[in-house]
Amino acid sequence: MSSFEALLDKAQGRLPPDLRRGGKAYDLFAAMPLIVWYGFSTVGRFGVIADDLSRFDLSRPDPALAIDVLAKLSGTLLALLFVVFLFTRRPPVAGARGFGPRLAAVLGAYLSVGILFLPMRENPMWLNFVSTLVILGGVGFAALSLSHLGRSISLMAEARALVTTGPYARIRHPLYLGEQIAIFGLLLQYLSPAAFLVVAVQCACQFYRMGFEEQVLEETFPDYAAYRERTWRLLPGIY
């Protein structure tokens, strides 16, 4: 434990139990930046979706536009689920300490946003169509995974409850898999060395993050070792 963390723990010892690390009020305060982020993201998406729907002609349906709207609706649902579960999640019972796990979690979760600041490639229509389909599939799978993770959601490497239902029955990190599929779909619209570099660094941070999470869960839950033996990290039958 660093001297800063020791000082922080000492200061928290003087607070009421609910305001200390591991208490509900402390956890809600820690989640507030994420709640604000996803909340604003959701509000912003409504305007974009409304604009897309206003351009949709039922007499001549545009499949590409329809799939794009579905992808944005799925992303909006995912953001809403994040907000709900961040508000209602269980306080953590354990977590990784130190700067490394925190940095890996933040970069793994949000570094891919940097792709949006790069110039978009002029792709043929079929490639943009494939890109949108991949994004839709990834976001949809991430939303399904999040619905099972529920109140155990964490940004940092923390243990709240051992979830083994739905996609988690076969894969230990299905939420990350869904997110990564969606990021790959986005990458197809920004094919450039800079975009590939951003995704490569983001992927490396995600693998680093997964290692910390699995370590915390194994140290916290006695059943985790057996769960790890019967599941795959990301891809059933492969990895």
Q: Domain of 99: which CATH number?
A: 1.20.120.1630
Query: Among the ranges 31-35, 62-66, 193-197, which has the highest mean pLDDT value?
Result: 193-197
Give, as one character, the DSSP assignment of residue 16.
-
The answer to whether position 234 is within a domain reads no
Count of structural domains within the chain: 1
Q: Which residue is associated with the tokens 């990458």?
A: 187
pLDDT of residue 98: 84
The answer to whether position 236 is within a domain reads no
The answer to whether position 239 is within a domain reads no
The answer to whether position 198 is within a domain reads yes
The answer to whether position 163 is within a domain reads yes
d(CA 8, CA 12): 6
* 42-67 confidence digits (pLDDT tens): 787 787 788 877 877 777 777 777 77
The answer to whether position 177 is within a domain reads yes
Q: 114: closest CA among 209, 236, 196?
A: 196
Q: How far apart are the first and last CA of the chain?
A: 33
Q: 186: closest CA among 122, 133, 109?
A: 133
* 65-120 confidence digits (pLDDT tens): 777 777 778 778 888 888 888 888 888 888 888 888 889 988 998 888 888 888 88
What angle do helix axes 174-187 and 125-149 make, rounded to 10 degrees?
160
Mean per-residue pLDDT of the chain: 84
**Residue 31's domain spans which residues?**
3-229
pLDDT of residue 16: 55
pLDDT of residue 193: 92
The answer to whether position 238 is within a domain reads no
